Structure 1
Amino acid sequence: MSTKAKETPAAKGNGAASTATSSSGVESVLRRHAEDQFAAELAALQEVDDKQRPPKWKLSPWAVATYVLGGKAGGMEITAKYIGKRRLIEVAIATLATDRALLLLGVPGTAKSWLSEHLAAAISGDSTQVVQGTAGTAEEQIRYGWNYALLLSKGPSREAMVSSPLMKAMATGTIARIEELTRIPADVQDSLITILSEKSLPIPELGEEVQAAKGFNVIATANNRDKGVNELSSALKRRFNTVILPVPDTADEEITIVQQRVKSLGKALEIPAELTGLDEIRRVVTIFRELRNGQTEDGKSKLKQSTGTLSTAEAISVMNNGLALAAHFGDGSIKASDIASGLVGAVIKDPVQDRVVWQEYLETVVKERDGWKDLYRACRETL
């Protein structure tokens, strides 16, 4: 199928990646960038935003918080992108308005990357300046690299240089994102120190430097379960203000998050089924919270804990998988049998230890809980 690029209002103004559509006008990209997907909301906030904006920011800090947490912009409803404590978001936004970088820290599945993307989209109108941290991340991905064909033919020059996302963000005064900072080797991490402290990037090969334009800052994310993998040096830690993102406080809060994301993803994936109620979501979230916390929700029974994280993100995955099963192999209505296999796969990460945990939980909790017999039978059949 042939495709053509269709530019969204957000993309026109800031050079963000365009949205691909098919010749029939149907979007062909699986996942749009936040600034494209929520372009109408960002535009509505810009219309009514009369508060002071830091240099180069598309929105004021107040409007950024409204975009992230939800609210009203004139006659438009702004959807909540993050459900949690408002003060945490305010601290994160205020940090980015200073010369300190922001480190979002938390267990897997606490929406660190999701929040990072939306903050960058609201502040800079571009969330695409990203360095993905891995054990193989090299210093060139933080600083700059070279087009070796041009380097050999013309020698060191700006033309032969390949700018990193951080270098581009410095030059344009926008937000750069670093995902999974603690997965990056320690010596590569330390290449950030000069960038964050001096707001400049030396280019010794050319005898030059790139100085950060106003508006530049960095949002990094890190998984606190990676503690001890590649610890940040004390010098680098001082360059960040750390905001710890917790798991949702209440079951209702977590259910709302799962419901919203499942609805959004189901629409994007064009799954021909919809959640008509919250019963299955509530059961998945309850199971995850109980095994995560090591006790039943009423606090009356202690439970063995799974080795997995059992995060909100994994609950979303279980529900999406169940929705697809119901749509393509069922009657379109999600049932216990549709979520059972996803539950087993999410809980049993260690085939020995977690299997014992899961079997005990099924027999002592699920089997005895009113209205859960169908889920008990479905889960037993998958073991």
Structure 2
Amino acid sequence: MSEILRQHAEHQYAEELDQLRRVDTRQRPPNWELSPWAVSTYLLGGKLDNGFEIAPKYIGQRRIIEIAVSTLATDRALLLFGVPGTAKSWVSEHLAAAIAGNSTLLIQGTAGTSEEQMRYGWNYARLLAEGPSPQALVQSPLMRAMETGRIARIEELTRIPADVQDTLITMLSEKTLPIPELGSEVQAVRGFNVIATANNRDKGVNELSSALKRRFNTVILPTPASEDEEVAIVTKRVAELGRALELPTEPPALKEVRRVVQIFRELRNGQTEDGKTKLKSPSATLSTAEAISVINSGMALAGHFGDGVLRAADVAAGLTGAIIKDPVQDALVWKEYLETVVKERSEWKDLYRACREVEG
């Protein structure tokens, strides 16, 4: 097993990508490693003609992935938008891995992201010694993607200040990056494109300008449509992470996964699954990613401080921590849910007791 905690997608799933390349006879856009059909198959999973099984990376609507892949085959950039925890970064990474064979040309958007990080910077020691020169230039991931015809990824685009965001406009519309200090420019090689992510919790933080919005095709990644779909996602990712972390735990019982998912869905939707009881929602997003984290934390507890079997007591602490972000309002919401919903479900008595013990 590799000593690297988390491999890039193109390395972790190298065998699947290689198998797809072998059977992929469909037309590929310029500089693409795979055809759009093969990229979609890599993301959604399926059985190849040679019998090889491709594991799904994204469990959800097929059309969403098809639209995202088709967008990247045009001159429009792709914006993956949705609530936190809907696999935007995950989908972005796997799209870049399948299309370009390289998911590492990444810019992490923050309030401190500068224009130099988006365009290019300088090696100031060489700049002072030699003046502006190609050797003193420090390329950004976007610049490298343009030169090599690859996919650049920008995480949390709306976290980046608006004036810095707008440095993308020329690159996305003219496919050119001017370098006035050298009196030159970088022209994008065919295959270049950009995948950006943004979440709706940041709406109003640094809104995209209308000019920049027009350069993107926005694809909204929804929360899982059904409980079964969300349970399948959580079960799959928990198993993968458990193997990667070598947790000394049995795979979690489906019952425990389903309970965590049901709690998250009910609090997220503001009502019980049967629609009979209205509920208050906490400030936390309660995403699928957080459900995965709760189960993994419980598995670590069960493996290192228990008998290796995940039980309600192992899940309770992570569950409480995920839901209570505001110590006053969220605590009231959680307590009300425990008393009106969890306590009344006869098969959930163990979870009720465990959660009350965590509260003290």
Read off the aligned partner of 2:326 and give its amino acid letter.
D
Cα distance in 2 for partners of 1:174, 1:75 equals 30
Residues in 1 aligned to 2:124 and 2:329: alpha-carbon distance in whole angstroms: 51
Counterpart for residue 84 of structure 1: 60
Q: 1:148 maps to what in 2? A: 124
> Any residues of structure 2 matched to 1:202-217 within 5 Å, and which?
202-217=178-193
2:336 corresponding residue in structure 1: 360
- Counterpart of 1:161 in structure 2 is 137
Q: Distance in 1 between matches of 2:30 and 2:198?
A: 27
Residue 101 (structure 2) aligns with = 125
Q: 1:376 offset after TM fit, Å?
A: 0.1
Which residue does the alignment assign to 1:52?
27
Task: Report deviation, 1:272.
Answer: 1.1
Letter in 2 for 1:137: T
Partner of 2:10: 35
Number of the residue aligned with 1:3? none
Do 1:266 and 1:274's aligned partners in 2 also have CA atoms closer than 8 Å?
A: no
Paired with 2:235 and 2:276, the residues of 1 have a C-alpha distance of 28
Q: Residue 276 of structure 1: CA displacement?
A: 4.5
Q: Cα distance, 1:28 vs. partner? A: 1.0
| 2:205 pairs with 1:229 | yes
Amino acid at match of 1:238: R
User: Match for 2:156 among 180, 183, 198?
Assistant: 180
Residues 252 and 299 of structure 2 are in contact (CA less than 8 Å); yes or no, is this contact kept in structure 1?
no
TM-score (norm 2): 0.99
Q: Which residue, 52, 73, 80 being the options, matches 1:97?
A: 73
CA distance in 1, matches of 2:9, 2:270: 36
1:280 maps to which of 252, 256, 270: 256
- For the residue of structure 2 that corresponds to 1:28, the secondary structure is coil
* CA–CA separation in structure 2 for the residues paired with 1:113 and 1:158: 33
Letter in 1 for 2:336: E
What one-letter code is carried by the residue in structure 1 that aligns with 2:122? W
Q: Distance in 2 between matches of 1:135 and 1:258?
A: 31
Counterpart secondary structure, 1:306: coil
3-state SS of the aligned residue for 1:371? helix
Give the Cα–Cα distance (whole angstroms) in 1 for the partners of residues 195 and 32 of structure 2: 15
- Name the aligned partner's letter for residue 35 of structure 1: E
What SS does the aligned partner of 2:138 have?
strand
Q: Which amino acid aligns with 1:43?
A: D
Does the CA-based 8 Å contact 1:263-1:274 persist in structure 2? Answer: no
Q: CA deviation at 1:274?
A: 2.5
Indicate if the aligned counterparts of 1:103 and 1:222 stay in contact, CA closer than 8 A. Answer: yes
Please give the alpha-carbon distance, in whole angstroms, between the structure 2 residues aligned to 1:33 and 1:87: 25
**In 1, Cα distance between the equivalents of 2:3 and 2:151?**
27
Measure the CA separation in 2 of the matches of 1:101 and 1:333.
46
What are the Cα deviations for residues 58-113 of structure 1, in whole angstroms up to 9, with x where unaligned?
00000000000000222211000000000010000000000000000000000000
In structure 1, the residue matched to 2:295 is 319
Distance in 2, matches of 1:142 and 1:276, equals 43
Q: What is the aligned length? A: 358
Deviations 1:23-80, CA, capped at 9 Å, x for gaps: xxx4111100000000000000000000000000000000000000000222211000
Give the 3-state SS of the residue equivalent to 1:220 in structure 2: strand
* Structure 2 gaps, min length 5: none
Structure 1 counterpart of 2:177 = 201
Q: Tell me if 1:258 matches 2:249.
A: no
The answer on 1:137 being equivalent to 2:117 is no
The Cα of 1:156 is off from its aligned counterpart by: 0.5
Question: Once the two structures are aligned, what percentage of the paired residues are identical?
Answer: 73
Residue from 33, 37, 53 that aligns with 1:62: 37
Rounded Cα–Cα distance in structure 2 between residues aligned with 1:286 and 1:86 = 24
State the structure with bigger RCO (CA 8 A, min sep 6), 1 or 2: 2
Q: Output the CA distance in 1 between the equivalents of 2:274 and 2:100.
A: 45
Listed one character per residue, the Cα deviations across residues 130-180 of structure 1 (whole Å, up to 9, x for unaligned) are 000000000011000000001111110110000000000000000000000
Q: Residue 108 of structure 1 corresponds to which residue in structure 2?
A: 84
Name the aligned partner's letter for residue 319 of structure 2: L
**Per-residue deviation, 1:370:** 2.4
Cα distance in 1, alignment partners of residues 23 and 229 from structure 2: 29
How many Å separate the matches in 2 of 1:267 and 1:280? Answer: 19
Separation of aligned partners in 1, 2:35 and 2:346: 50
Q: CA RMSD in A?
A: 0.6
Structure 2 letter corresponding to 1:77:
E
Q: What amino acid does structure 1 have at the position aligned with 2:348? A: W
Classify the secondary structure of the residue corresponding to 2:357: helix
**TM-score, structure 1 normalization:** 0.93
Does the 8 A contact of 1:288 with 1:310 survive in 2? yes
d(CA) in 2 for partners of 1:237 and 1:161?
Answer: 29
